[in-house]
Amino acid sequence: MEINIYTACLCLAAGLVILWKCAELLVAGAVGLAERLGVSPLIIGLTIVAMGTSAPELAASIAAVFKESGGDIAIGNVFGSNIANLALVGGLVAIIRPLKVNARVLRCEVPVMLGVGLLLWPVLRGGQLLRIEAVGLLALFAALMGLLIYTTKKQPADKAESLIELDDEMEKAKKLGSKPLKVTLLFVVIGLLGLVLGAKMAVSGATFIGETVGLSEAVIGLTIIAFGTSLPELVTCVVAAIKGQDDISVGNLVGSNIFNTLLVTGGAGTVKPFLVGPRLAGGVDFWIMIAVAAGFAFLAIAGRRVVGRTSGLLLVGAYIAYIVYRAGFNAAL
């Protein structure tokens, strides 16, 4: 079917609706799965939900390495998504509803997120990612997931810490725990697949609209595409926060950044080793990514494990400043 401005608008609207409905299904399924398996929603957010919402980044980066200058696209996708997750998504969620951060996340997962991010500096500073280095990143990712599962089994979920006081929506989600495990898993799978489909539809429609109104490829890439790859995280986190599931929301954000850094980078480099430009190989964009991660952690600590609305405004403001900076840099090239 030939696309025009009307079908593009329809595609954008339908994609957003699919995103929202599938995010609701995913959050409900994730909470039900946590109940069924006897683990906290935080663990589900750090693993299943985070991996699912990072699927677009993984697919985009693997596809990118087969193109000219594909390494910059692949790593730029990782850095841009990590920045957007914490600054844009985390900020918007905090503005909508102050975001409570689990003590475990600040003690364990946030340092891991910062650590694996810093690990990319010696790996990429030579201007290339070798296959053996990429495999090493994947091995580290597997080890971290194994450790997470092990520690979860050693320390069963603390309901007082991991579950927010139940409201009507939470009661609905909890009922999923009484359903067969395969039904709950089906909810999660449908939700994840729907997020990918909805994001693709929304980005395709928005891109056509942007081209029609005369936006440059640089502006489209920096705004529509960058925002589009973070749509699964954004919608999932907003829905989770509205339903009082901060553990799933925060777990998704932090887990997605760890997945992007290790799984997406390692997966792309294992498929095809690639070169990386100086701005990404330990340059400005790399340190902006690290600064945003450190800033998110600082705001959570300063707020006594709550990222409030003021902090959310600061995060979103930082993201807007970054986009303006990147647009200005590209225009100068």
C-alpha separations of 255 from 2, 136, 295 in Å: 39, 19, 17
Full DSSP string of 109-144: IHHHHHHHHHHHHHHHTTSEE-HHHHHHHHHHHHHH
pLDDT (tens digit, 0 to 9) for every residue of the chain, 333 residues total?
567 788 888 887 887 778 777 767 776 777 777 777 777 777 777 777 777 777 767 776 777 788 766 788 788 878 888 998 999 999 999 998 899 998 888 988 899 999 999 999 999 988 899 999 999 999 999 999 888 877 766 555 444 343 333 344 444 444 444 567 777 788 888 887 887 787 677 767 776 877 787 765 445 554 566 666 677 778 778 888 787 778 888 888 998 899 999 998 999 899 999 888 887 888 888 999 999 999 999 999 999 999 999 999 999 999 999 888 876 655 555
223 touches 15 (CB < 8 A): no
Please, are residues 74 and 268 in contact by the beta-carbon 8 Å criterion? yes
- Distances 275 to 67, 118, 123, 269 between C-alpha atoms, Å: 11, 19, 12, 10
Q: What is the CATH number of the domain that holds 21?
A: 1.20.1420.30
What is the DSSP-derived secondary structure letter of residue 157? -
Cβ pair 102, 161 in contact under 8 A: yes
* Structural domain harbouring 254: 5-332
Residue type, 17: V
In sequence order, which residues have a C-beta less than 8 Å from that of residue 324 and are 6 or more positions away?
Answer: none
Tokens of residue 39, six digits: 């683990």
The total domain count for the chain is 1
